[in-house]
């Protein structure tokens, strides 16, 4: 039992990190008032680019960087449509998801099912790494896991403690007031979605380069949608997103353990899980008054300055 728990906890951060990265990217977009429903596709593209570059002989870090840039590139039309032309965010986001999913499948055909060397785990902390049960979870993970956690902390600080963070939040809550205070609403939204897309692309690249070390079509498997639910669950707070990612990632890490222990879990039930979880979380959060208040006031709406 202890072995199973140790293995489960040890695998958990690897499942948590991509969810958290994607959620942080999304959180940034949403704090600026932009609802980006394209996550699933952008992650898929990032995963494909990361794998293709790894197969081309790039180092894991360079490959993940390329995946992040791929995420940004595929999001550009969405950004222009939504921020410049104020297209409806929901349909534009769904279109982005479809385009990016399709593009990753079409462009990645040559990279499919070919293993490549991925990111190595670090071992640090000296004797602490040998701690029973939690040693592996805390001290034997790859660098992305640690960096992602640090990023969550930095993002929280940036949002709540800096002038730029304050402006970004104002843009998402009440763009008219931000505008009147001299904040360039579109510039902030552009910046937020650009950085957000980089993070989401990176989350996808980490799935292939840091996780499976192989790319197959559809390997994102709904994690983008989970990230969307995760942001709501976290009430738009980067710190709470860590908790959410641990929860969702832990649940995900449990499935292979259960299978290894011989528990029969129908595969269709498993593929349903992300969506069921998403709906469940959204319903729960909709019932909570506090969660509803945490939502950025202008999320998903187009701001057009009043005619003068």
Partner 1 sequence: MALRIGGASKSFSDHKVLDAVDFDLAAGEVHALLGENGAGKSTLMNILSGIYTADAGRIEIDGAPVSVSGPAAAVALGIGMVHQHFKLVQPFTGRENLHLAASGLPVVPPRATVDAQISELVIRSGLDVALDVPVARLSVAEQQRIEILKTLLLGARILVLDEPTAVLTDAEADGLLSLVRDLAAQGHAIIFITHKLREVISAGDRVSVLRRGRMVLANRAVEDVTRDDLSSAMIGGQDVAVTKRAGARSGADLLSVSGATVMDGGATFVSGANLTVRAGEIHGLAGVGGNGQRELAEAVLGMRPLADGRVVLEGHDLKAASVAARRGVGMRYIPADRSADALASNVTLADNLAATAVRTGALGRGLVWPGRIRAHAGSLIEAFGIAGASGGARRPVRLLSGGNAQKVILAREIDGDARLIIAHSPTRGLDVAACAYVHDRLIEAASRGAGVLLISEDLEEILALSDRISVISRGRIASTADGRPDRAQIGDLMLGHA
Residues that bind partner 1 (CB under 8 A): 163, 166-167, 169-170, 173-174, 176-178, 180-183, 289, 293, 297, 308
| Count of Cβ atoms closer than 10 Å to residue 66 Cβ | 22
Residue 134 or 180 with smaller CB distance to partner 1: 180
By beta-carbon proximity to partner 1, the closer residue of 7 and 176 is: 176
Residue 284: CB minimum distance to partner 1, A: 19
Q: How far is the CB of 293 from partner 1 (least distance, A)?
A: 7
Give me the least distance between CB of 162 and partner 1, in Å please: 9
Cα separation, 189 vs 33, in Å, equals 7
Nearer of residues 10 and 296 to partner 1, judged by Cβ: 296
Min separation Cβ 234 and partner 1, Å: 16
Task: Answer yes or no: are the C-beta atoms of 227 and 19 closer than 8 Å.
Answer: yes
137 vs 178, beta carbon nearer partner 1: 178
Question: Least separation, in Å, of the C-beta of 216 and partner 1?
Answer: 43
Q: Which is nearer to partner 1, 176 or 255 (CB)?
A: 176
**Residue 87: closest CA among 38, 46, 121, 134:** 38
Exposure string over 84-105, b if 16+ CB within 10 A, otherwise e: eeebebeebbebbbebbbebbe
What residues are paired with 9 via a beta bridge?
Answer: none
Nearer to partner 1, 109 or 163 (CB): 163
d(CA 2, CA 10): 12
Give the phi and the psi of residue 288 in degrees, each rounded to 5: -90, 125
Q: Please state the closest distance from residue 6 (CB atom) to partner 1, in A.
A: 43
**Any residues with CB less than 8 A from the CB of 293 and at least 6 apart, and which?**
none
In whole angstroms, the minimum distance from the beta carbon of 4 to partner 1 comes to 44
Q: Residue 65 CA to chain centroid, in angstroms? A: 15
Q: How many Å apart are CA 182 and CA 174, to the nearest integer?
A: 13
Shortest spacing between CB 287 and partner 1, in angstroms: 13
* Cβ nearer to partner 1, comparing 173 with 217: 173
The residue whose two tokens read 């939040």 is 169
Placement of tokens 């498993």 in the chain? 270
Phi, psi of 215 (to 5 degrees): -115, 130
Contact 241, 232 (CB under 8 A): no
Nearer to partner 1, 160 or 239 (CB): 160
SS3 20: helix
The phi and psi torsions of 112 (rounded to 5 degrees) equal -70, 140
């Amino acid at each position: 039992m202890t072995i199973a728990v140790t293995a489960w906890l040890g695998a958990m951060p690897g499942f948590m990190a991509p969810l958290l990265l994607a959620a942080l990217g999304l959180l940034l977009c949403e704090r600026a008032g932009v609802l980006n429903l394209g996550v699933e596709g952008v992650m898929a593209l990032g995963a494909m680019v990361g794998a293709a570059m790894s197969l081309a002989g790039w180092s894991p870090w360079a490959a993940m960087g390329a995946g992040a840039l791929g995420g940004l590139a595929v999001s550009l039309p969405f950004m222009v449509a939504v921020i410049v032309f104020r297209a409806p965010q929901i349909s534009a986001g769904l279109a982005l998801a479809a385009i990016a999913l399709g593009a990753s499948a079409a462009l990645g055909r040559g990279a499919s099912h070919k293993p490549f060397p991925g990111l190595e785990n670090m071992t640090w902390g000296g004797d602490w790494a040998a701690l029973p049960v939690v040693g592996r979870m805390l001290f034997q993970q790859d660098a992305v896991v640690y960096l992602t956690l640090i990023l969550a902390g930095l993002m929280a600080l940036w949002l709540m403690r800096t002038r730029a963070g304050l402006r970004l939040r104002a843009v998402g809550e009440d763009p008219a007031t931000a505008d009147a205070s001299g904040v360039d609403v579109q510039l902030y939204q552009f910046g937020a979605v650009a950085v957000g897309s980089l993070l989401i692309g990176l989350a996808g690249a980490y799935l292939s380069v840091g996780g499976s070390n192989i790319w197959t079509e559809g390997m994102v498997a709904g994690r983008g949608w989970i990230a969307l639910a995760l942001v709501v669950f976290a009430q738009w707070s980067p710190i709470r997103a860590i908790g959410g990612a641990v929860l969702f990632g832990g649940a995900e890490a449990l499935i292979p353990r259960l299978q290894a222990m011989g528990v029969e879990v129908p595969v269709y039930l498993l593929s349903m899980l992300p969506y069921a979880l998403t709906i469940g979380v959204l319903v729960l959060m909709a019932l909570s008054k506090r969660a509803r208040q945490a939502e950025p006031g202008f999320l998903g709406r187009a701001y057009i300055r009043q005619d003068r």
